[in-house]
Amino acid sequence: MTKGQTPSQTVGPYFAYGLTPEQYGYPLASIASPDLRTPDVEGRQIRIEGRVLDGKGEAIDDAMIEIWQADPQGRYAHPADPSYNKGRGNIAFKGFGRCGTGTDPENRFIFDSVKPGAVDDSQAPHINVIVFMRGLLSHLYTRIYFADEADANAKDPVLLSVPEDRRDTLVAAREESGGTVVYRFDIHMQGENETVFFDV
Amino acid sequence: MTTPPKPYSPRDWSSHPPIIAPDYKSTPLRGATKPLIPIRQSLSELTGPVFGQDSLGELDNDLTKNGRKDGEPLGERIIVSGKVVDELGRPQPNMLVEVWQANAAGRYVHKVDQHNAPLDPNFFGGGRCVTDDQGVYRFYSVKPGAYPWGNHPNAWRPNHIHFSLFGPSIATRLVTQMYFPGDPLLDLDPIFLSSPEKARDRLISEFDLSLTEEEFALGYRFDIVLRGPWETPMETA
């Protein structure tokens, strides 16, 4: 047997040149970017925008957000997904993005992606989110659901496992600006509207 | 061939730091205050991004070379290597390991680092490698220096290297820090001390003469344990 899980530690304030170098202008190729779109992807393009707010309601400028999502047909680009490679289009779509909050004047994270399809039949379309920052010793998981999927959301087993008065914190508002569909999703670390975080 | 995914064992909160640890002063306003809500693991949690050798640049695993402008970086050259396994001791092959660190003087390349120790024109401090078919990773660097931070009077971070790993799914995601043996700053550092006492030694690398390359670099071993599948261990050892 092993000696047990290696403990988590904070990502700290200086992750950008190692984890999100191109976004911050450092001379190292990034393995992932805030733009998940690939030339072959078939599906509706969307933008996801939001801020990470601390206990005083101030936007955090040194958080890093990772997203992991299915393609528009509800398939994850991972061998554990039984639909992986099965009649697969979107072959270049990796489903993973990374964005720091330090390069936008309003400290937003902004992802360009495609709207994910429903996964596992019973789940509503969603994007998995991992949150890192200075002052966070263990990363936190949350999910983005979409306000224009009310019927699917009402039946989603994960949303239903969340107390009713907190479900709204997981649903991104839909806006349209200049033909682009934008979903707005602020992450409140604390306070009245504290975002639901999952023990994954 | 696809194998149906198995759920992962829980995140072991007796090994990980709490969400809020007041001695580390950035945590009280930034940590969640409500309990985490347990989630039934679905394909969303049992899958994650796949990064293999093809995600590496030529010099990504050699921090003594990937920031060179006109010479060698200053500092004590080191080799850092270790095995990535899951809780059942099974090697995790072909897994991305990302690292970043300060230079030998304790200065980060990052633009907001205001420490007045010098930048090294020949050292960048970021890189990555991928584990081999036995789960072993290995990279070259220089030993990072300690540096002051404003947490409390005379607060200095111990020498450390930041690590980021995915493992096979987003459930096994881990960001951590590797420390060096015998560092007197460890007992004074609220970030290191935030992890439960029984688990702290898992964050400290071991000096390993067998990793050392003669007349070139000293070797440190840092093994990493990720969450494993939720099943009864078969090993009898």
Give the model confidence (pLDDT) of A169-181 as tens digits: 999 999 998 889 9
**Residue A1: per-residue pLDDT:** 53
Residues B104/B75, Cβ–Cβ less than 8 Å: yes
Return the percentage of chain A with pLDDT > 90, whole number. 86
Which site among B9, B16, B37 would you substitute to test the A interface, given the most A Cβ atoms closer than 10 Å to its Cβ?
B37
Give the pLDDT score at B236: 46
- State which residue of chain A sits closest to B29, comparing Cα positions: A55
Q: Of A28-42, A83-97, A186-200, B19-33, which range is least confident?
A: A83-97
Distance in angstroms (rounded) separating the CA atoms of residues A137 and B146: 20
b/e per residue A68-92 (b: at least 16 CB within 10 A): bbbbbbbbbbbebbebeeeeeebee
The predicted-structure confidence for B51-100, as pLDDT tens digits, reads as follows: 999 999 999 999 999 999 999 999 999 999 999 999 999 999 999 999 99
Per-residue pLDDT, B237: 42
Cβ–Cβ under 8 Å, residues A78 and A70:
no
Catalytic residue (one of B107, B128, B157, B227)? B157
pLDDT tens per residue, range A80-108: 998 887 777 788 899 999 999 999 999 99
pTM value is 0.96
Instruction: Give the per-residue pLDDT at A40.
Output: 85
Q: Which residue, among A1, A10, A69, would best test binding to B if mutated, counting the most B CBs under 10 Å from its CB? A: A10
How far off is chain B from A178, nearest CA to CA, in Å?
Answer: 32
Average pLDDT score over residue span B111-122 = 91
Distance separating alpha carbons of residues A5 and B15, to the nearest angstrom: 6
Grouping H, G, I as helix, E, B as strand and the rest as coil, residue A147 is: coil
Q: How far apart are CA B166 and CA B124, in angstroms?
A: 23
Residue B192 has pLDDT above 60, yes or no: yes
Q: Is the pLDDT of residue A39 over 80?
A: yes
B221 pLDDT more than 90: yes
Across the interface, whether the CB atoms of A29 and B57 are under 8 A apart is answered yes
Is some CB atom of chain A closer than 8 A to the CB atom of B232? no
Average pLDDT of chain A is 95
The C-alpha of A24 sits at a distance from chain B's nearest C-alpha, in angstroms, of 9
Nearest-angstrom CA–CA distance, B171 and B162: 19
Phi, psi at B203, each rounded to 5°: -95, -5
| B residues 60-119 closer than 8 Å to A (CB) | 60, 66, 85-89, 96, 98-100, 108-113
Interface of B with A in 200-229 (CB under 8 A): 200, 202-203, 224-227
Residues in chain B within 8 Å Cβ distance of A60:
30
Q: CA-CA distances (angstroms) from residue B144 to B67, B81, B114, B190, B194? A: 15, 16, 16, 19, 21
